[in-house]
Amino acid sequence: MLTARELTKRYGGTTAVDSLTFDVRPGLVTGFLGPNGAGKSTTLRLLLGLDRPTSGEALVNGRRYVRLPQPARQVGALLDASAGHPGRSARAHLLALARGGGIPRRRVADVLDEVGLSDVADRRIGGFSLGMRQRLGIAAALLGDPGVLVLDEPLNGLDLDGVRWVRGLVRALADEGRTVFVSSHLMSEMQLVADRLVVVGGGRLVADAPTAELIASWSDPRVVVRTPDPAPLVEQLRRSPRGPVTVAPGADGALLVRGATPEEVGDAAHAAGARVHALYREEASLERVYLDLTGAEVRHRAAPPRSRAAAHGGTARKEDR
């Protein structure tokens, strides 16, 4: 179990984590989502005792990390896949960690096997690909056979096989009754693997709910329609007797219609004499919910492509338009 209670961390004038309260429960995969700079890494560092909160509490199994007896056996973490001396072999790296954490040596062979690195265990880490380093980092997290796992972006650098492997691994760990807290930027992956989601933006809690519930409650179904005759269709839709229908411009000239079914949009197009080149209901996705939830909270928003080009004194490139 992981617990944040009114957790706050300030660095000078920056509030990285702002009064966060949430629980991460055993037996579930909990995803930790937020845009760049939202405070995810800081929160994980506070939970793992790598930094001290300005105020509030960060607890593992009800205690501050520094107060945990045999912490390596209670919580395992993947924070930085580049950790580990490049001149050391994977096996030597894990043996050193086992020695430092009071963990039996035999666990090293077990975890090397579990992450699929047994064949390269005696090679230097310096020659490892990013994906192999991620696997080694996960092996290190599993070394103490802990009941709590904190994995910061475990999918980074993994190929499709690796992604599927992590998916299966986190599921299995949660099914064994462990607490699994996984941060990722890959919404589609989180949608597949996380039972619950904790979403942060600007250091604050934005949502804490079961994944399916979050997607259902925040999804505002819309119909996408492509037509070379938008004006008569929009006019017809606005006259809908069923209630308010709103139409907004979407990507590539499509129209996004809220408040009408695809059938109703099709009928309106027919009545208006507008040609239809595409018509479908947009599926609810975590990515859309996430953008809606955190849209106002993005700290490092990139300028839209056109204004970025203008800011650099250039004209927008064709692909920017």
Q: Binding of ligand ATP at residue 173 (CB under 6 A)?
A: no
CB nearer to ligand ATP: pick between 181 and 227? 181
Q: Binding of ligand ATP at residue 41 (CB under 6 A)?
A: yes
Task: Considering only the stretches 19-27, 35-43, 114-122, 272-280, report the one whose residues sit in contact with ligand ATP under the rule CB under 6 A.
Answer: 35-43
What is the SS3 assignment for 21? strand
302: nearest Cα among 319, 320, 275: 320
Both tokens of 74, joined, read 């209670």
Distance in Å, CB of 200 to ligand ATP, minimum: 7
Phi first, then psi: what are they for 64, rounded to 5°? -65, 145
Task: Considering only the stretches 32-40, 106-114, 172-180, 286-294, report the one whose residues sit in contact with ligand ATP under the rule CB under 6 A.
Answer: 32-40
Figure out which of the listed residues 18, 28, 30, 40 binds ligand ATP, where binding follows CB under 6 A: 40
Figure out which of the listed residues 39, 71, 137, 147 binds ligand ATP, where binding follows CB under 6 A: 39
CA distance 256 to 291: 16
Task: Considering only the stretches 34-42, 158-166, 238-246, 247-255, report the one whose residues sit in contact with ligand ATP under the rule CB under 6 A.
Answer: 34-42
CA distance 200 to 203: 6
Q: Are residues 279 and 222 in contact, defined by beta-carbon separation less than 8 angstroms?
A: no
Figure out which of the listed residues 3, 30, 42, 211 binds ligand ATP, where binding follows CB under 6 A: 42
Figure out which of the listed residues 36, 129, 217, 246 binds ligand ATP, where binding follows CB under 6 A: 36
Q: Binding of ligand ATP at residue 31 (CB under 6 A)?
A: no
Distance in Å, CB of 46 to ligand ATP, minimum: 9
Q: Binding of ligand ATP at residue 16 (CB under 6 A)?
A: yes
Q: Are residues 151 and 76 in contact, defined by beta-carbon separation less than 8 angstroms?
A: no
Q: Binding of ligand ATP at residue 111 (CB under 6 A)?
A: no
Q: Binding of ligand ATP at residue 11 (CB under 6 A)?
A: yes
Dihedral angle of Cα 67, 11, 290, 176, to the nearest 10 degrees: -10
Q: Binding of ligand ATP at residue 156 (CB under 6 A)?
A: no
Q: Binding of ligand ATP at residue 155 (CB under 6 A)?
A: no
Beta bridge partners of 78: 151
CA distances to 21, 36, 111, 247, 294 from 202, rounded to whole Å, are 14, 9, 36, 30, 9
CA distance 123 to 242: 68
CB nearer to ligand ATP: pick between 16 and 206? 16
Sign, CA dihedral 98-155-43-196, equals negative
**Interface mask toward ligand ATP for 281-300; x: CB under 6 A:** ------------------x-
Distance in Å, CB of 40 to ligand ATP, minimum: 4
Q: Binding of ligand ATP at residue 50 (CB under 6 A)?
A: no
CB nearer to ligand ATP: pick between 288 and 299? 299
CA distance 116 to 52: 35
Q: Are residues 122 and 91 in contact, defined by beta-carbon separation less than 8 angstroms?
A: yes
Beta bridge partners of 8: 55
What is the SS3 assignment for 143? coil
- Contact residues toward ligand ATP (CB under 6 A) are 11, 14, 16, 34, 36-42, 299
